[in-house]
Homo-oligomer: A and B are copies of this chain.
Amino acid sequence: MAMTKSEPVAVICGGVGAARLLRGFVGRIDAEHLTAIANVGDDMVLHGLNISPDLDTIVYTLADAVSAERGWGLEGETWQAMEMIGAYGAVSGEPLDWFSLGDRDLGTHLFRTGALAQGSTLDQVTAQIAAKWELPLSILPVTNDPIRTMVTLAEGDEAGTEISFQEYFVGRQHSVAVSSVRFDGAASAQAGPGVLEAIDAATTIVVAPSNPAVSIDPVLAVPGVRERLEARRGDVVGVSPIIGGKALKGPADRLLVELGRESSATAVAEWYRDVVGTLVIDTVDADQAPAIEALGVRAVVTDTIMSSPAITSALAETILAERV
């Protein structure tokens, strides 16, 4: 079933995997009908700055502004501010330079913080940032309210201690075991302007290949989002972030295991079974298709490692074609 370019698509997004997949949709779907609904559970205030890592990853990636050498952060980036922070030393034994802040990237954070302080909402700031980078699609934070993904540590002296996502992800380089995840503020958050409308209008809702536990779940936790996907799961196509039992990037594989699942495409299908009618899995996981279908989730097998524009494009095409 081919899809015309004017059929609206909404993509539930985390960071890197989602940003790459969005590149497959840009040009294929009219920009006015393409909406990215982004996780803000990783957002934080660091040294006074409002930082929205997933929103920035999406913007920088779609703008082709990500450094090719590093694979993250902006091209043409410099690190003068960071070097100074480091030179000043630790405070109460804690270094202040644990989170990389490039000078150009700082401009984005300073703009966001300044605009919020002047009364802009996060969706307005994000639209202004996207406009500067000449991105025509809608990039919407799932909510303008603060949501903070918190993880509880599982082991050793720290067992039971709850830390913020960034402290876990960057500060500890996600090398510690986690016993649970919580989205502080989500229950009372209100979906941002246009978010529920974009889901309602979409003929296909895509769940990007992001971390289910800490990138997609906080989006689903905003009241109205999960409910809409559940009600329309036949129109929802997920992409497994687990390929051959591993996450391409980040701790999704270990997190699934730590949270009592297994690290497999089937486990992803199980995680999403209430909200996703179709799951796109990688060819290396083709043998799991029967198990996934046994869960009541349609399995579609294709190449999902977006290592070239051609593969990304084909994956986007598959998602659009295969929805039920």
Contact = CB atoms under 8 A, between A and B. Distances in A.
B92 A114 contact: no
Interface residues of A, number: 41
A110 B120 CA distance: 22
B80 A48 contact: no
Interface in A94-128: 94, 96, 101-104, 106-108, 110-111, 113-115, 117-120, 128
A80 B82 contact: no
B106 A118 contact: no
B92 A128 contact: no
Given A48-B49, A111-B84, A118 B103 contact: no
Nearest to A51: B48
What is the interface of chain A mostly: helix, strand, loop, or mixed? Answer: helix
Contacts of A118: 91-92, 94, 96
Nearest to A79: B103
Interface of A: 45-50, 77-78, 80-85, 87-89, 91-92, 94, 96, 101-104, 106-108, 110-111, 113-115, 117-120, 128-129, 131-132
20 contacts: A47-B48, A47-B114, A48-B48, A48-B110, A48-B117, A77-B80, A78-B78, A80-B80, A80-B102, A80-B106, A81-B110, A84-B111, A85-B110, A88-B115, A88-B128, A89-B128, A89-B132, A92-B120, A96-B110, A106-B106
